[in-house]
Amino acid sequence: MIIIPRLYSSTNDISMDTFSHEMVSMLQTVQLQSKALQQSLSVSLNYAANNLYIESFSFSYPGSIDGSSISRVIDVPEVVVVSVNEFVDELIFYPNLTWETYSLSSLKDMDSFQISLTSDTLTNMITIYKYSGSIQLE
């Protein structure tokens, strides 16, 4: 009898990995669109009623051909809990690849911004570094 090992990931782990990569892609897209369009672009962090965890992210930017707006909401999967290192409800990217965070319309000065994504078995961290223009999935 031959036993063939197979890799197995739970559905929760797959959802977590997929969502983590989707978040990094979304943040990088908004950052690069800000640079390409030479204008600031915003990502909104939408919290659950208890203000502890993020339930969705939303953003929009002008379309490249006809000037129409491209808008998107990314809902956090039920198996993932998203939190941040400091309460922030808006992340604004600037054309020079820097960014600022705001909490209830007040500027929050940070050198890095971390988004923690947690499931039953995994924890991923997205870190955005202010002066390098880098967005890292760790």
Q: Would you write out the chain's pLDDT as a tens digit for each of its 138 residues?
A: 676 555 556 788 888 899 999 999 999 999 999 999 899 999 999 999 887 899 999 998 887 667 688 889 999 999 999 999 999 999 999 999 999 999 999 999 998 999 999 998 889 999 999 888 889 998
Phi, psi at residue 98, to the nearest 5°?
Answer: -90, 175
CATH number of domain containing 95: 3.55.40.10
Q: In the prediction, which pLDDT does 9 show? A: 63
Q: Look at residue 119 and tell me if it is in a domain.
A: yes
- Number of Cβ within a 10 Å radius of residue 63: 10
Q: In the prediction, which pLDDT does 41 show? A: 94
Q: Look at residue 4 and tell me if it is in a domain.
A: no
Q: In the prediction, which pLDDT does 120 show? A: 87
Q: In the prediction, which pLDDT does 3 show? A: 64
Helix, strand or coil, per DSSP, at residue 16: helix
CB 131 within 8 A of CB 117: no
Q: Which of 35, 30, 36, 106 is nearest to 74 (CA)?
A: 30
The count of structural domains within the chain is: 1
Q: Look at residue 3 and tell me if it is in a domain.
A: no
Q: Look at residue 106 and tell me if it is in a domain.
A: yes
The structure's pTM equals 0.86
Q: Which of 30, 20, 2 is nearest to 95 (CA)?
A: 30
Q: In the prediction, which pLDDT does 8 show? A: 57
Q: In the prediction, which pLDDT does 22 show? A: 94
Q: Look at residue 72 and tell me if it is in a domain.
A: yes
Helix, strand or coil, per DSSP, at residue 118: strand
Q: In the prediction, which pLDDT does 49 show? A: 87
- Number of Cβ within a 10 Å radius of residue 119: 20
Q: Look at residue 56 and tell me if it is in a domain.
A: yes
CB 81 within 8 A of CB 20: no
Q: Look at residue 6 and tell me if it is in a domain.
A: no
Q: Look at residue 84 and tell me if it is in a domain.
A: yes
- Domain enclosing residue 99, as ranges: 11-137
